[in-house]
Amino acid sequence: MSDRPKPCACTPIATRLTRRAALATTTGLLATACAKASRWEPSSVVADGGVIELDLNEHPSLATPGGMEAFKVAGVRSPILVMRIENDAFRVLSLQCPHLGCTVRWNNGTQQLECPCHGSTFDDVGRPTKGPAKRQLASYRWQMTGTRLHIAVAT
Ligand code: FES
């Protein structure tokens, strides 16, 4: 039997998330418009010296607590998820499943990140809530300067 991940049959949807959706969630996290985890369509960004810089004026989904947005960073295997959790605090997670590397997605219905390949789930901090994945999602360091969020993505 192969260890390769099963292909995903999910339908692609946009992951740019609305402010209104953020306000509608009980945990304050934004979500997709689909009850089931679907394929992310992250924004593309380029790292300079291992750091990406996001001007929050250009990312309204991150302007208020509860917002989130996925990004595909050139040279980084899996997308990252940037979540504004409160005031000027953020959480930045890798969307690479620690089991076999599929891309996990946020599910608004369950308020979890879900892996489409073998069903692992993770809470909004990235801790596994259901296997087979046993490790949590990797996280990235960040720093806020004015309206600019800098995220260290170098490995
Ligand atoms: S790759 Fe197997 S659960 Fe995610």
pLDDT tens-digit series, residues 39-77: 467 888 888 889 999 999 998 888 889 889 999 998 888
The second-level CATH assignment, the architecture, of 28-152 is: 3-layer Sandwich (2.102)
User: What spacing in Å lies between the alpha carbon of 116 and ligand 1's midpoint?
Assistant: 7
Q: Is the pLDDT of residue 155 over 80?
A: no
Q: What is the mean pLDDT of the chain?
A: 78
Nearest CA to ligand 1 atom 1: 100
User: What pLDDT was estimated at residue 61?
Assistant: 87
| Residues near 58 by beta carbon (within 8 Å), at least 6 away in sequence | none
Backbone φ and ψ of 115, nearest 5°: -95, 125
Q: How far apart are CA 99 and CA 139, in angstroms?
A: 16
- What 3-state class would DSSP assign to 50? coil
State pLDDT tens for residues 105-122: 998 889 899 999 999 999
Question: CA 23, 25, 29, 31: dihedral to nearest 10 degrees?
Answer: -100
Which protein residue has the closest C-alpha to ligand 1 atom 3? 118
Query: In a mutational test of the pocket of ligand 1, which residue from 120, 135, 137 has the highest number of ligand atoms less than 8 Å from its CB?
Result: 120
First to last CA, the chain: 32
Decide whether any atom of ligand 1 lies within 6 Å of the 97 Cβ: yes
* Overall pTM > 0.75: no
Beta bridge partners of 38: none
Query: What is the Cα–Cα distance from 145 to 114, expressed in whole angstroms?
Result: 32
Domain boundaries along the sequence of the chain: 28-152
Mean pLDDT for 2-13 is 38
pLDDT of residue 26: 32
